[in-house]
Amino acid sequence: MKRSERPAFAGSSFAAWTRGGWTPCVVALGVLLAAGGAPALAGPGPVDASHVALHEIDVDQGAATLVETPCGTVMIDAGGRQDAGDTRLLAYLKGYFAARPALNNTLPAVFLTHPHIDHDLGLLDVVHTYKVGGVIYNGQSPAPPGPGKSRADAVVAYATAHHIPTRGVLQADAFNGDGVTDDVVSPLAGCTGVKPEIRVLGGGHSKDKTGWTGDYKNPNNNSLAIRVDYGKASFLFLGDMEEAQQAEVIAHWSGTPWLRADVYHVAHHGSYNGTTPATMSAVAPKIAVMGVGAAANHAQWTAWAYGHPREQAIQAMEAGVSDHRDTPKAFPISTAVKTFHPETIDKAIYATGWDGDITITADKDGTYVVTTEPVTHPPDPPKAKTAAAAPKAHVTAGR
Ligand SMILES: [Zn+2]
């Protein structure tokens, strides 16, 4: 990663950008927008015609990612832990689209890696609020019982009722040829020069409960694997897949170019079973980024309660990620649920619970710039609305 290079963003408000100096610029543009009646900007401004950006939105414990390209933005997961996370996600999206009027409030594709609430809490609001070109999910419809089922089913039902194309990608579909990359999965067109390409490389194991045995009863192990390429820049998302599904995915794509990626979207929020030396060997990333809550929040369904991120996953990343943070810094990592200690992170490993909103900008030559913006979450309400719906299975899966 050559982070000394300045990212090329459209808009003169970013002329004062300096390495590590995003905050004043973001605030400055946010003030400008607020003065004009639009919401404060969330994250850096729009990419220009030769860059893409991954926006990892800090939604507390959960994952919500935008992949911004010069010819459209797609969304991968829209999760959160409770209503405040959904509110934060929607506020980010509002600012994002306000700063990008040319997008016309459109998401050409929305992906749900698997139907857990920390991945789909805000998804129904997203498809209700924005113009969505297609919905891609893991092929399990109706979704299996559990937290997130109702929203996942409602999203697919809404898409069907409104004639929005859907693609349910089972792992057997993904393992056919070079993955699934049709005009629903990879709809971004109109870029001058480099065309972004999206392909799904893994998915659900069966449409119904047949075959839901052992490790595959867990929706985590029925996650979409998604790859985004933009010239030499590459991004890989593994949802919440654990060792069982990862072993299949890694074995199937071994010897192909499809798993090795510069930016690794960390599986399962940094859980011990989401990133192993085998994962790092297959992906060999320059940068790792994870959606995970802050360890300081001692409540239900938090990173603290699950023990995310876990020490052995971080150690695998410290060994396997090739690039470095600007300055090594100590962050809380866990050795067990509710058990954390500070550990100095030297490699280019970023987490929303450590860094807030994270944006990774890339050009077609694979030069990356990482920017972060701290986020303050409101304290939990006396009783979390979503807590009662979360089943034990997910708690176990989080360990
Ligand atoms: Zn998750």
Q: Map out the domains of the chain with their CATH numbers.
A: 51-397 (3.60.15.10)
Expressed in angstroms and rounded, the spacing between residue 247 Cα and the centre of ligand 1 is 18
- The confidence score (pLDDT) of residue 84 equals 80
Question: For 205-245, how does the pLDDT look when each residue is reduced to its tens digit (9 = 90+)?
Answer: 987 666 667 788 899 999 999 999 999 999 999 999 999 99
User: To the nearest whole percent, how much of the chain has pLDDT over 70?
Assistant: 84
Distances (CA, A) of 45 to 15, 95, 104, 218, 275: 11, 10, 16, 38, 31
Closest CA to 76 of 237, 186, 196, 309: 237
Cβ pair 354, 331 in contact under 8 A: yes
Per DSSP, the residues of 339-361 read EEEEEEEEESEEEHHHHSEEEEE
Report the SS3 class of residue 78.
strand
Expressed in angstroms and rounded, the spacing between residue 263 Cα and the centre of ligand 1 is 18
Question: Residues 140-153: what's their mean pLDDT?
Answer: 92
CA-CA distance, 176 to 241, in Å (whole number)? 19
Question: Residues 183-190: what's their mean pLDDT?
Answer: 96
Expressed in angstroms and rounded, the spacing between residue 351 Cα and the centre of ligand 1 is 14
Expressed in angstroms and rounded, the spacing between residue 102 Cα and the centre of ligand 1 is 32
Expressed in angstroms and rounded, the spacing between residue 49 Cα and the centre of ligand 1 is 33
Question: For 84-133, how does the pLDDT look when each residue is reduced to its tens digit (9 = 90+)?
Answer: 878 999 999 999 999 999 999 999 999 999 999 999 999 999 999 999 99
Expressed in angstroms and rounded, the spacing between residue 139 Cα and the centre of ligand 1 is 18
Expressed in angstroms and rounded, the spacing between residue 151 Cα and the centre of ligand 1 is 15
Judged against a pLDDT cut of 60, whether residue 282 lies above it is answered with: yes
The position carrying tokens 């985004």 is: 228
Cβ pair 44, 359 in contact under 8 A: yes
Instruction: Quote the tokens at residue 58.
Output: 């800090």
Expressed in angstroms and rounded, the spacing between residue 240 Cα and the centre of ligand 1 is 5
Judged against a pLDDT cut of 90, whether residue 395 lies above it is answered with: no
Cβ pair 246, 238 in contact under 8 A: yes
Expressed in angstroms and rounded, the spacing between residue 101 Cα and the centre of ligand 1 is 31
Expressed in angstroms and rounded, the spacing between residue 245 Cα and the centre of ligand 1 is 15
Q: Which residue has the higher pLDDT, 91 or 32?
A: 91
∠ at Cα 82 (333, 86), nearest 5°?
105
Judged against a pLDDT cut of 50, whether residue 16 lies above it is answered with: no
Expressed in angstroms and rounded, the spacing between residue 271 Cα and the centre of ligand 1 is 9
**CB-CB neighbours of 324 under 10 Å:** 16
Expressed in angstroms and rounded, the spacing between residue 219 Cα and the centre of ligand 1 is 10
The position carrying tokens 């498809």 is: 127
Judged against a pLDDT cut of 80, whether residue 25 lies above it is answered with: no
Expressed in angstroms and rounded, the spacing between residue 63 Cα and the centre of ligand 1 is 7
Expressed in angstroms and rounded, the spacing between residue 190 Cα and the centre of ligand 1 is 33
Question: Residues 183-195: what's their mean pLDDT?
Answer: 95
Expressed in angstroms and rounded, the spacing between residue 81 Cα and the centre of ligand 1 is 10
Expressed in angstroms and rounded, the spacing between residue 228 Cα and the centre of ligand 1 is 20
Expressed in angstroms and rounded, the spacing between residue 267 Cα and the centre of ligand 1 is 8
Cβ-based neighbours of 239, under 8 Å, separated by 6 or more: 77, 113, 114, 119, 220, 223, 224, 225, 226, 267, 268
Instruction: Quote the tokens at residue 269.
Output: 């929020």
Report the SS3 class of residue 337.
coil
Judged against a pLDDT cut of 70, whether residue 248 lies above it is answered with: yes
**Alpha-helical segments (H) within 50-186:** 83-98, 117-120, 123-129, 149-161, 171-174
Expressed in angstroms and rounded, the spacing between residue 116 Cα and the centre of ligand 1 is 6
Question: Residues 153-159: what's their mean pLDDT?
Answer: 98
CA-CA distance, 124 to 74, in Å (whole number)? 15
CA-CA distance, 288 to 266, in Å (whole number)? 6
- The confidence score (pLDDT) of residue 211 equals 64
